[in-house]
Structure 1
Amino acid sequence: MRILTFILLNFCISTFAQNDSINKNVISYDEKIILRFNLNTNIDNYVISSRELDIKPRLNLNNKINTTFGIDYKFINATISFAPDFLQGNNNDLKGKSSFTNYTFRFFPKNIIQTLSYKNSKGYYISNTRDFVSDWQKGKDVYLTFPDLRIQSLGGSTSYIFNKNFSLKGIYYQKEWQENSSGSFVPSLNYDYVIFSDQLNSIKSREHQLNLNFDVAYYYNYVVTKHFNIAPFAFAGLGKKWSNYKSDITKSEKEKQNFFTQNFGAGLHLGYNSDKFFFGSKFNYSGNHYEDNGSNITNNDFYVLFFLGYRLNAPAKVKKVYEKIQDKIPAL
């Protein structure tokens, strides 16, 4: 971490020193309303390993594909994600019933990207059921399930883009288009409040977690042609997790613990852009790891995303509403 801090500080100094002499080579679409549709496989899974167990249970949602609808204008981005039953691979009869929704709002004041989100998922199954049931047959037998396991999270992140010639908004939200190749360090402060609840054999349990972590990412946007770009990235960080657990067995007593967490990930973006249409794909991996009483808890999230969008002119009434808001909040 000392090496990353040293690199980051030197990069910041050189970037700020050049701010007055560099022109921003970015095309903005802030005046447009942006409509977006995504298909992705962004489904959380949890892997639990323990010194007492040779087998690692793998908890998954019974969903393979999520859909996302989004709308952008000026400083705000809003999306809703869910896993519809009619898509093939969602809610397989042998894996129990699952549900998933995710609401996200993003704001873009200057070089900051502020994200707020609420996620709700319920109904998990053990994907490696064969490791626990010797005569279990894939495709014929029912998986071990936790139908009442529910995970709710409310949180967000605050990211700062140091290099004004680099457009993270262009890579992830198609609000801009970067004309020349460049990269940037992007430090982020991430925070969320998570509630795990379950009912197993009439015994109710609930765990509350508060997570806080800081990570440093580096993105590079390689502009291949006037309309096509490739953007890899990687990040790493450390954090802290506070947890308290309560069940019908412990009754009024709560088990309180705290852990240090490790966060890491990488990904690749491929995109096509024109003034009206854009489309592309993303390949992302992120992981979170911590130890709990000899058990290693890992939350892995690998997914592929395909996006398609269209930009249109904003109606006059929408522009007037924004201007009134901007008069009250000049920073937007």
Structure 2
Amino acid sequence: MTLKTSLSYRLLFFVLYFCPANLVFSQNIRPYDLEKQAAHAELKGYDASYRVNYFENIIIRSFITSDIANFQFRSSDGQRTFDLVPAAEYLLGLSLDYKWIALEVSFAPAFRQTDAIEDLSNSSSLRLGLNFFYSDQLRQEFSYTRLVGFINTNSETGLSDRLRLLNNTELQTIRGSTYYIANKNFSFRSHYAQTERQLRSAGSLIPKLTYTYSITDPNLEIPVETINTAQLKSFDLIFQMGYLYTFVAKEKWFATIGVHPGVGYNSARYEFLDQSNQLFNNISFAFDSELKFGYNSYRWFFGVGGNWRNFNILNNEANQLNRDNSYLEAYLGFRFNDNKPMRKFFGWFEDHLGF
């Protein structure tokens, strides 16, 4: 059993251990849950006719997504451009949400070789996530991603063995994002984590600050005269002023649309094979757009969504880095009942830290 598979099983074991079997599939909402929902709405000052939370439930969410970083890499002389796509391009994932915190693990199944793509069987993708709310309107996300094995989709590079060349190319990324939800009646949790349900149509401005540190190791198997980069380290700080709106039909069916333009700062450090290095500092621009459809009831929820992202650096020719990608995601989830020991443990953090 691999580490990635083991992490998924541990999440499932946690739920089965803490949830009594006779309560797991009950469709009747508990009086305790109704009391907590009303108390939360009063405490946080939002209209309970717009959103309802399921904080007293353990929420398991499974998903498949193509949301893996695609990026552009240029040779140091600027003459060759590589449009890199991960060989293991689809992630299967599982997340566990309870109260104010969420854990997530996703990975790519074993990559299957084809006649067109030779010797990429060691390709892998892994992402770990930790998300939580500081308060009802302030959300924090952290993630770690490791991708090994890329395909160069630019056929104009003139390399005879362009696929095998990137067999061991590796990208590691540590990312954090902080969101502020301006409209208290808009359920950001319903859109991103399904720990709530939007009951009536609403929208909100959502300022977002994202900070990312990434390390790219080309690890080329054969020497290429114009590619002498040993490692690229990059830091990005981006502020986006986004807007999301959710249309609701019959309190369970929904469609959400959003746009997130932004501007930021990029610092990229190139370390070369001759042990020299070069630093670039530039202004960057970002734009995200997204669309999602789905169903969200008391126990079950599911949906599909898509996102298009564009990330450009002002001095792209010098920085040699650009990102432009789109992805699709489909998910299915279920909400289980919690129990008193769990409430007591997590309640301590709510009482003492304000979560």
- Shorter chain as denominator, the TM-score bin is 0.7 to 0.9
Offset at residue 199 of structure 1 (A): 2.5
Matched positions, count: 301
Q: Distance in 1 between matches of 2:114 and 2:87?
A: 7
TM-superposition CA deviations, 1:158-210 (whole Å, max 9, x none):
00000011011101110111111111110001101111112234777112111
| Deviation at residue 93 of structure 1 after TM alignment | 5.7
Separation (CA, whole Å) in 2 of partners of 1:150 and 1:190: 22
The answer to whether residue 288 in structure 2 is matched with residue 265 in structure 1 is yes
TM-score of the superposition, structure 2-length normalised? 0.78
Greater strand share, 1 or 2?
Answer: 1
- Give the Cα separation in 2 of the matches to 1:110 and 1:21: 10
Instruction: Please state how far the C-alpha of 1:226 moved relative to its aligned partner.
Output: 2.1
Tell me the alpha carbon deviations over residues 56-108 of structure 1, each in whole angstroms, 9 at most, x when there is no partner. Answer: 5321111232101000000001111110127xxx6546432421111111111
Residue 144 of structure 1 deviates from its aligned partner by 4.9
Indicate if the aligned counterparts of 1:103 and 1:118 stay in contact, CA closer than 8 A.
yes
Q: Take 1:287 and 1:177, find their aligned partners in 2: how far apart are those partners?
A: 30
Question: Contact conserved, 2:289 with 2:308, CA < 8 A, in 1?
Answer: yes
Q: Which amino acid aligns with 2:211?
A: Y
Q: Structure 2: which amino acid aligns with 1:283?
A: G
The correspondence for 2:90, drawn from 46, 59, 65, is 65
Give unmatched runs, 5+ long, in structure 1.
1-19
Q: Decide whether the 8 Å contact of 1:181 with 1:220 is kept in 2.
A: yes
Q: CA deviation at 1:155?
A: 1.9
Pick one of 251, 254, 267 that aligns with 1:226: 251
Determine whether 1:256 maps to 2:279.
yes
Q: Does 1:120 align with 2:143?
A: no
Greater percentage in helix: 2
Q: 1:48 to 1:154 in 2, by over 3 A?
A: closer
- Secondary structure of the equivalent of 1:72? strand
| Counterpart in the other structure of 1:171 | 191
CA 63–318 in structure 1, closer or farther in 2 if over 3 Å, else same:
same
Partner of 1:209: 234
Secondary structure of the structure 2 residue equivalent to 1:199? coil
Pairing of 1:142-221 with structure 2 (within 5 A): 143-200=163-220, 201=222, 205-221=230-246
2 CA distance for matches of 1:115 and 1:100? 19
Instruction: Give deviations 1:124-162, integer Å, cap 9, x for gaps.
Output: 111233x3459x8xxxx9735312221111120100000
Change (3 A) 1:193 1:227: same
- Distance, in Å, in 2 between the alignment partners of 1:293 and 1:232 is 33
Question: Alignment RMSD, CA only?
Answer: 2.6
SS of alignment partner, residue 169 of structure 2: strand
Contact 2:265/2:283 (8 A) holds in 1: yes
SS at match of 1:145: helix
Percent identity over the alignment is: 26
Q: Where does residue 4 of structure 2 map in the other structure?
A: none
Within-5 A mapping of 1:1-332 = 23-24=47-48, 25-47=50-72, 53=79, 56-85=81-110, 92=114, 94-95=116-117, 96-97=120-121, 98-108=123-133, 109-129=135-155, 131-132=156-157, 143-200=163-220, 201=222, 205-249=230-274, 251=275, 253-290=276-313, 291-294=315-318, 297-329=321-353, 331-332=354-355
Unaligned runs of 5+ in 2: 1-43
- How many angstroms does 1:43 deviate by? 2.5
Alignment partners' CA distance in 2, 1:120 and 1:221: 33
